[in-house]
Structure 1
Amino acid sequence: METTDYMGQIISVTVTDENEQDYFAQKDGVTFRIEKSEFDKPHQVTDAITGFAYENEEHELQLTTKLPMVKIGHYAWATVVASRRDLGVFVDIGLPNKDIVVSSDLLPTIHHLWPAKGDQLLVSLIVDKKGRLWGQLADEDIFQEMAKKATQQQNNSDVQGIIYRLKIVGSFLLTDEKYIGFIHPSERDAEPRIGQKLKARVIGVRPDGVLNLSLRPRAYEAISDDSAMILAVLKHQPGNVMAYTDKSDPEAIREFFGISKGQFKRALGHLMKLHLVEQADGKTHLLGDPDQPDHA
């Protein structure tokens, strides 16, 4: 067999030699290095060892008994450790002295949407004609096979997940609970990177079980301290109505709220924009409670 036939495979080899740091073992005349630090007990010549075959960063054939989760034909999450614009991103799949490249051909054409260090990609391994191992990104079918169908119980909940696909229509995410989520461009301030882990909130559940997500905060999370103070005052007024509006005397506002009229007007304007309050008949009225899902 060719040396390239062993790359990325789990094979059994026979120990033929050793030095202070390594064992040397062969299969069909091909020699692999195995680090002694992987074993609790010493091995002897003719012992059989089973492990994962690969070429390390020094271009030496190596075997490791610490089998990676990512394999040929088997997908697992791998962490991005580095990036090279002319090549792609490097991911750690658990091999000693070897990171695997996910080719730039598989990544977005816009470089700032590439995964950053610490991001995660769902990958398997492929071997090219030269015996080199590459990371292969999971396609949509793989994520559909993994995914569970969401129910309406997930609505208005908070989720975490990893962005796995970028399209013009929006971003796709797989949550920690294995639900697929979709983020429309209107529900984000900036397009996330592929591989980026995000927190989002569920704003709807589609009939096919996909979550519609938003990266924008709920209304009560987005309001300022001044707006929150005005809401608190309104909640404790009879009928949830107060006599202060953006036309009120500046000194009266400072006396009651402890803030300037400019601050008061900005805070009140924000609450009106969120449809939480309205001004009518020279008074300010509370329209709804931002703590409730209807105002998420």
Structure 2
Amino acid sequence: MLEAGTKVTLKVEREAPFGYFLSDGKTDVLLHESEIKEEDIAIGDEVEVYLYYDNQDRLAATQLTPFIELGEFGWLEVVDIHPRMGAFLNIGFKKDVLLPADQLPEMKDKWPQAGDRVYVQLEHDRQGRLLAVLGKEEDFVEISEPADQSLFNKDVSGYIYKIIKIGAFLMTEGQHLAFLHRDETNEPLRVGQKITARVSRVRDEDGRLNLTMRERKEVSYSQDAEKIYQYIKNRGTRMPYTDKTDPEIIKEKFDISKAAFKRAIGKLMKERRVYQENGWTILSEEKKE
């Protein structure tokens, strides 16, 4: 019995305006011209094809090689999203495979978008059609490699495969398992999304990574310092805020913490761009004048 997701050798029975009909002696299947790889097909030839169900739920054949086969896992690209059905994935030939909605997060803003990549296994649905199923945690553990401490503070890229309330799990391009806490992100996250983040910790016990998307401290200091410097300049060379100012006022005026404010002011003073006097922070250029 012929079934989708299998590779079989069939005989070319007859030609059609849009391809060829193949048969195992019991069932005829269409090999559409868009699915033909060999150009010299003739009646009576035996050809190796991969079977699938087309858009009319008819068993069809392709000579194109699927990216993954029945029972296999692999990373597939999302080509389209249907709000009720789920995500459609490029499997390497004309018919896309469905990743059903019940495999995806309840919140649709966490669903993948076109161009994202998901790690799935091919299975049969109840009608025998090909269906994609998301990899589970144990599937990622099986293909992962423990990271070493040389990755600490380095940037890594990877794809998110699971989102929970407190953050997201991903597989890096180096095959390392990683976790990104929601407090360490600077953007909304979704399943299948590719992100680049910095390694904030390499766990000794299992080689998993903790990641952050926050700026490195030295970059953050510079950005805060420039913001404060411009603020003073726009006020006419001085402001009534110093490292003694209440944290609430600092947060209201600059949208940063008191600690971050003190670090930024310290940087400006070390560079001799500002000085403090009688409860004021003043541009050093005023003193020169």
Is 1:24 equivalent to 2:32 in the alignment?
no
C-alpha separation between the residues in 2 aligned to 1:108 and 1:225? 36
| 1:9 paired residue among 6, 9, 27 | 6
* Over 4 Å off, 4+ runs: 223-226, 228-231, 262-267, 269-272
Under a length normalisation based on structure 1, what TM-score does the superposition of the two structures give?
0.77
CA distance in 1, matches of 2:144, 2:58: 39
1:124–1:138: 8 Å Cα contact kept in structure 2?
A: yes
Partner of 1:80: 78
Is the CA contact 2:221–2:260 (under 8 Å) kept in the aligned structure 1? no
1:1-296 matches, cutoff 5 A: 1=1, 3=2, 6-37=3-34, 38-96=36-94, 98-207=95-204, 208-223=206-221, 227-228=225-226, 260-261=237-238, 272-273=259-260, 276-277=263-264, 284-285=269-270
Q: CA deviation at 1:26?
A: 0.5
C-alpha displacement of 1:190: 4.6
Structure 2 distance, partners of 1:229, 1:136, is: 48
Matched residue SS, 1:145 = helix
Helix, strand or coil for the counterpart of 2:140? helix
Give the alignment's TM-score, normalised by structure 2.
0.78
TM-superposed CA distance for 1:63, in Å, is 0.9
Name the CA shift for 1:193/1:20 in 2 (closer, same or farther; >3 Å): same
Question: Cα deviations across residues 92-150 of structure 1 (Å, max 9, x unaligned)?
Answer: 11121x11111111111111111111111111211123122111111111111111100
What's the CA shift for 1:230? 8.5
For 1:109, the aligned partner's letter is: E
Quick one: structure 1 residues 172 and 112, their matched pair in 2 at CA, closer, same or farther if it must change by over 3 Å? same
Tell me by how many angstroms 1:228 deviates.
Answer: 4.8
Q: Quick check: 1:227–1:270 contact (8 Å CA) kept in 2?
A: no
Partners of 2:16 and 2:238 in 1: how far apart? 80
> Is the Cα contact below 8 Å between 1:70 and 1:123 reproduced in 2?
no
CA deviation profile, 1:162-220 (whole Å, cap 9, x unmatched): 00011234210111111111111221245510111111000010121001001212123
Whether the 8 Å CA contact 1:227–1:271 is kept in 2: the answer is no
CA distance in 2, matches of 1:263, 1:10: 76
The number of aligned residues is: 257
Q: Secondary structure at the residue paired with 1:276?
A: helix
Structure 2 spans left out of the alignment, 5+ residues: 243-252, 272-289
Give the Cα separation in 1 of the matches to 2:25 and 2:237. 84
Structure 1: tracts of 5 or more residues without a match: 232-245, 287-296
SS of the residue corresponding to residue 42 of structure 1 reads: coil
Cα drift, residue 58 of structure 1: 2.9
1:21 Cα deviation (Å)? 3.0
Tell me the distance in 2 between the aligned counterparts of 1:219 and 1:171: 23
